């Protein structure tokens, strides 16, 4: 009998609830009532699913790696389904397939969109659209921790000194990743604000940059980035997702680690230096 670790998914249903609540506050604060009911609906559904999956997700027997993979795959199907609710029930008469496509595109940080003109979309829905990228990036990072047993020993050593993760260790590492991911998002947001980018645009760009997403809050980035200093800052902030989040993780939680912990990202640094050097040499 296949056992799915639903308690793993309950955490992300809870995050969707928090994002829904944040959009409700944002919509009420700015009097954006066009799609307000859709966030209440996503809040209720995600909260119920979070509680139910947490209650029934307790497993007495150890879950196999095959069942872990199925759990992660289920999340890639089910979580975007809940995230698509505000799109489907919005005032824009989107079909279910278009709503689900937009959500999947954000959740996987692909960046394809069904919207022709972003400026015609309600600000709260634009923010929700960007949020799908943020939670998708977090889900990917958590899934690496959750599926740690399928990776080789060298990759495991970039995360922890433990050869194998038990439930408590997975939880401990996941919390650290969540705090780091959220902290980096906040840092990007504050830096963009400091360089005179509107708070709404800064928040949406922070969600896109940290998750390597492709969604923008406007039709063209040039409508936001108008100064050379802003271009340079955006370019530098892109490096936050260029390097593995675990690179930042190991820098923050550095405890007598050797260069093996940074092996992959050192190659990326060398690659980046070569690309930049070639660019300045020929362009």
Structure tokens at 139: 């889900």
Backbone angles phi, psi at 238, to 5 degrees: -65, -25
Residues in the chain: 283
Residue 23 structure tokens: 């959009």
Our measurement of the distance from residue 85's CA atom to the centroid of its chain's CA atoms, rounded to an integer in Å, reads 18
Q: What is the pLDDT along the chain (283 residues), one digit of tens a residue?
A: 445 677 788 889 999 999 999 999 999 988 888 889 999 999 999 999 999 888 876 655 677 778 888 888 999 999 999 999 999 999 999 999 999 999 999 999 888 999 988 988 999 999 999 999 999 999 998 888 887 766 655 555 555 554 455 566 667 777 888 888 898 899 999 999 999 899 999 999 999 999 888 899 999 888 898 888 888 888 888 877 666 566 566 655 555 555 455 555 555 556 556 655 655 555 4
Q: Are 246 and 137 in contact (CB under 8 A)?
A: no
Task: Indicate if the alpha-carbon torsion angle 245, 249, 251, 255 is positive or negative.
Answer: negative
Tell me if 148 sits within 8 A of 156, measured CB to CB: yes
Q: Answer yes or no: is 201 within a domain.
A: yes
Domain assignment of residue 123, given as a range:
6-282
- On whether residue 1 sits in a domain, the answer given is no
Report if residue 89 sits inside a domain: yes
pLDDT of residue 164: 52
Q: Is residue 75 part of a domain?
A: yes
pLDDT value of residue 58: 60
**Assigned domain for 116 exists:** yes
Closest CA to 55 of 1, 14, 19: 14
Give the tens place of pLDDT for each residue, 98-150: 999 999 999 998 889 999 889 889 999 999 999 999 999 999 988 888 877 66
Q: In the Cβ-directed half-sphere of 54, how many Cα atoms lie within 13 Å?
A: 11
Residue 21, pLDDT score: 96
CA geometry: angle 110, 242, 129, nearest 5 deg: 35
What pLDDT, on the 0 to 100 scale, is given for residue 172? Answer: 75
Distances in Å between the Cα of 23 and the Cα atoms of 62, 137, 180, 246, 278 are 38, 19, 23, 29, 44
Residue 155 lies in a domain: yes
Whether 25 is in a domain gets the answer yes
Q: Which residues contact 19 (CB under 8 A, 6 or more apart)?
A: 128, 131, 135
Count of structural domains within the chain: 1
What does the pLDDT look like over 166-193, one tens digit per residue? 566 667 777 888 888 898 899 999 999 9
pLDDT at 278: 59
Give the whole-angstrom CA distance, residue 67 versus residue 252. 32
Task: Give me the pLDDT at residue 30, please.
Answer: 87
Give the pLDDT confidence score for residue 4 in this predicted structure: 60
And the tokens for 268?
A: 């990326």
For residue 110, report the phi and psi dihedrals to the nearest 5 degrees: -75, -50
Cα radius of gyration (the chain): 20
User: What pLDDT is stored for residue 1 in this prediction?
Assistant: 41
- Does the CA dihedral 113-114-119-121 come out positive or negative? negative
Whole-number Å distance between alpha carbons of 281 and 98: 45
């Amino acid at each position: 009998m296949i056992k799915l670790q639903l308690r793993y998914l309950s955490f992300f249903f809870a995050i969707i609830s928090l994002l829904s609540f944040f959009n409700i506050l944002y919509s009420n604060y700015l009097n954006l009532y066009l799609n307000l009911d859709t966030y209440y609906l996503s809040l209720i559904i995600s909260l119920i699913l979070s509680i139910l999956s947490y209650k029934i997700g307790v497993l007495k027997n150890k879950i196999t790696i095959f069942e872990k993979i199925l759990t992660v795959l289920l999340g890639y199907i089910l979580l975007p389904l809940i995230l698509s609710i505000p799109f489907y029930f919005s005032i824009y008469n989107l079909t279910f397939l278009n709503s689900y496509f937009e959500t999947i595109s954000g959740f996987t940080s692909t960046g394809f969109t069904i919207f022709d003109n972003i400026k015609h979309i309600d600000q709260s829905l634009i923010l929700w659209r960007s949020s799908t990228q943020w939670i998708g990036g977090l889900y990917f990072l958590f899934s690496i921790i959750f599926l740690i047993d399928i990776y080789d020993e060298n990759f495991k050593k970039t995360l922890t000194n433990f050869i194998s993760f038990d439930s408590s260790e997975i939880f401990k590492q996941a919390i650290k990743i969540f705090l780091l991911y959220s902290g980096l998002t906040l840092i990007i947001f504050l830096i963009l604000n400091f360089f005179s980018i509107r708070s709404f645009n800064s928040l949406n760009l922070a969600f896109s940059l940290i998750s390597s997403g492709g969604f923008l809050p406007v039709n063209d980035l040039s409508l936001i980035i108008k100064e050379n200093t802003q271009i340079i800052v955006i370019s530098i902030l892109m490096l936050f997702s260029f390097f593995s989040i675990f690179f930042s993780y190991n820098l923050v939680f550095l405890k007598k680690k050797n260069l093996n912990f940074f092996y992959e990202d050192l190659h990326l640094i060398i690659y980046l230096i070569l690309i930049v050097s070639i660019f300045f040499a020929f362009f």
